[in-house]
């Protein structure tokens, strides 16, 4: 007897845009320009342009497996280039515009990319990168059709748009294994040196399906999704793929992420779902509070990337009338790990939700041995699954243990219902007098105080104790003027010797490009006695 069979259907990312172009051709991708205007294109039109970019890259000698870099904001042009590179089987190496030319050049040297797509305002930075990167041959400027004054560059720098006029449109996408690499992203480097993470078509395809689940991000075709999380980091949390998969409207903010610009987009595009780090939504909230603006279309905000203060969660939900979904993930996870379901009655700022299918969590002791009780105890968090890194780019040694578990570097608890709480970073722990202090527990208490927008605790060198904690806060006028009022709530909540020795009020907390508090900078500026 011969068994039946099913058709071969490689899980490659080009299929998302193919699907959207065929079944939701007029659903829009909307991009905000610097002058406040917007540009629109349907999925069918976007796919046609992406195919031509693929044809242009083929003329430039790009083959399957070759890496092509981007240095750009969240725009239509960036989405087109993403699909053009990945659709033809090349690898999209996204670069963080907020890093230095030297850092970006180092990443390009590692990836070997010879072509770099850039946003117009980033062309000067691209030129500086080219002077440091002899291998970089071409710089193509997106999202502009005329009026470009090209800076002097060691690489050939041109506008992309005129080149597309004669580019072939017969490029056939796919036709490569689903296990082929699709993207390359270096970690944010907020706690250590950046490492390259390679995504495959299969890993990102499965990640997208997980995002679309009803207990996940739950994006549907009726949604208008504002993707504030950057496309240059961790696949923009998979949103360009998820919105294409269901034909949702994708709203891209460009480079302006101030509260007024975001509020204007939410109102004009009837945004239903916003996705980004807490600092972005704080800016939106402050603008709404100052102007009295109402944003009735906004239903949900999905937050991750940094701890969320309970007071800020309550304030946003009450003023904007939205439901906040907390989440946790990291570059190495593609990046989503857990998401709080949209209508979970046990939602809380400190809960990051449960893992979707395809992701498994494990708590271990410091030696890496699994805790005998996985519920209620604090441990070192490990993760494994189809979307989790196995080996970093350019490295021969696996980043996982013999059982496939990847160590996240996080400390965590899992409650009786399976909800994850990140309790700190192992690297952030402060060793004072031979005992450990967890900054995250202090930050959670102080961050919940009225007027405290952001709070960070770092270790400062101490001749007697080795390290002592200090508190850095970004506050508003509502915050108490004296430092003792910021420290008093810690008494009885944490051990007395955990209470910080000093308080520093910062006008602006330094943030990494992904919106996380930049503790490397804080340690450099305040960590020495």
Residues 190 and 456 sit within 8 Å (Cβ to Cβ): no
The residue annotated as part of the active site, out of 12, 31, 75, 187, is 187
The residue annotated as part of the active site, out of 23, 436, 478, 488, is 436
Which CATH number is 429-526 given? Answer: 3.30.300.30
- State yes or no: is 431 an active-site residue: yes
Would the pLDDT of 493 be above 90? no
**Cα–chain center distance at 526:** 27
Residues 156 and 139 sit within 8 Å (Cβ to Cβ): yes
Residues 326 and 281: their CA atoms lie apart, in Å, by 13
Does residue 278 sit in helix, strand or coil? helix
The residue annotated as part of the active site, out of 22, 427, 431, 491, is 431
Would the pLDDT of 281 be above 80? yes
The residue annotated as part of the active site, out of 178, 332, 443, 474, is 332
pLDDT in tens, 342-396: 988 788 988 999 999 999 999 999 899 999 999 999 999 999 999 999 999 999 9
Residues 451 and 482: their CA atoms lie apart, in Å, by 13
- State yes or no: is 332 an active-site residue: yes
| Range 420-435 average pLDDT | 82
pTM for the predicted model, two decimal places? 0.86
pLDDT in tens, 71-111: 999 999 999 999 999 999 999 999 999 888 998 999 999 99
pLDDT in tens, 502-524: 999 998 999 876 677 888 889 88
Handedness of CA 516, 219, 385, 8 (dihedral sign): negative
Residues 507 and 285: their CA atoms lie apart, in Å, by 18
Axis-axis angle for helices 239-246, 14-23 (nearest 10): 30
Residues 507 and 516 sit within 8 Å (Cβ to Cβ): no
> How many CB atoms sit inside 10 A of residue 416's CB?
7
DSSP string for 307-338: ---HHHHHHHHHHH--EEEEEEE-GGGSSEEE
């Amino acid at each position: 007897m011969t068994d039946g069979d099913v058709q071969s259907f490689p899980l490659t990312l080009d299929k998302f845009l193919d699907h959207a172009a065929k079944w939701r051709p007029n659903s829009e991708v909307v991009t905000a320009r610097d002058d406040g205007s917007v540009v629109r294109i349907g999925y069918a039109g976007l796919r046609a342009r992406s195919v031509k970019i693929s044809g242009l890259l083929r003329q430039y000698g790009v083959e399957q497996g070759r890496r092509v870099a981007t240095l750009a904001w969240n725009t239509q042009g960036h989405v087109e280039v993403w699909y053009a590179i990945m659709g033809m089987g090349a690898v999209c190496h996204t670069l963080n515009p907020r890093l230095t030319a030297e850092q970006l050049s180092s990443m390009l040297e590692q990836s070997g990319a010879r072509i770099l797509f850039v946003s117009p305002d980033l062309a000067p930075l691209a030129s500086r990168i080219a002077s440091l990167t002899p291998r970089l041959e071409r710089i193509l400027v997106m999202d502009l059709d005329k009026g470009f004054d090209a800076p002097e560059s060691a690489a050939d720098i041109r506008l992309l748009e005129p080149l597309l006029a004669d580019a072939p449109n017969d490029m056939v996408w796919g036709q490569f294994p689903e296990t082929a690499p699709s993207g390359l992203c270096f970690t944010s480097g907020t706690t250590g040196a950046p490492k390259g993470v390679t995504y495959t078509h299969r890993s990102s395809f499965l990640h997208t399906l997980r995002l679309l689940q009803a207990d996940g991000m739950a994006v549907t075709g009726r949604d208008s999704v504002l993707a504030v999380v950057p496309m240059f980091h961790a696949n923009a949390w998979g949103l360009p793929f998820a919105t294409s998969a269901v034909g949702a409207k994708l709203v891209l903010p460009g480079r302006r992420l101030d509260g007024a610009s975001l509020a204007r987009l939410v109102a004009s595009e009837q945004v239903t779902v916003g996705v980004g780090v807490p600092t972005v939504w704080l800016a939106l909230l402050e603008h709404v509070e100052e102007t009295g603006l109402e944003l009735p279309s906004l239903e949900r905000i999905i937050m991750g990337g940094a701890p969320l203060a309970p007071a800020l969660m309550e304030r946003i939900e009450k003023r904007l009338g939205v439901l906040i979904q907390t989440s946790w993930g990291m570059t190495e996870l593609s990046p989503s790990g857990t998401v709080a379901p949209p209508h979970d009655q046990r939602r809380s700022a400190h809960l990051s939700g449960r893992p979707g299918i395809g992701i498994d969590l494990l708590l271990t002791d410091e030696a890496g041995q699994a805790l005998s009780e996985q519920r209620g105890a604090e441990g070192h968090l490990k993760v494994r699954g189809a979307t989790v890194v196995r080996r970093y780019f350019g490295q021969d040694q696996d980043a996982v243990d013999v059982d496939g578990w990847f160590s996240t570097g996080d400390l965590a608890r899992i409650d009786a219902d399976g909800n994850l709480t990140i309790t700190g970073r192992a690297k952030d722990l402060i060793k004072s007098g031979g005992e450990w202090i967890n900054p995250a527990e202090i930050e959670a208490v102080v961050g919940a105080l009225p007027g405290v927008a952001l709070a960070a605790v770092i270790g400062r060198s101490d001749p007697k104790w080795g390290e002592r904690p200090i508190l850095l806060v970004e506050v508003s006028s509502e915050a108490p003027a004296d430092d003792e009022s910021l420290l008093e709530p810690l008494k009885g909540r944490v051990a007395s010797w955990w209470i910080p020795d000093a308080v520093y009020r910062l006008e602006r907390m330094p943030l990494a490009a992904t919106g996380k508090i930049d503790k490397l900078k804080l340690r450099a500026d305040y960590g020495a006695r």
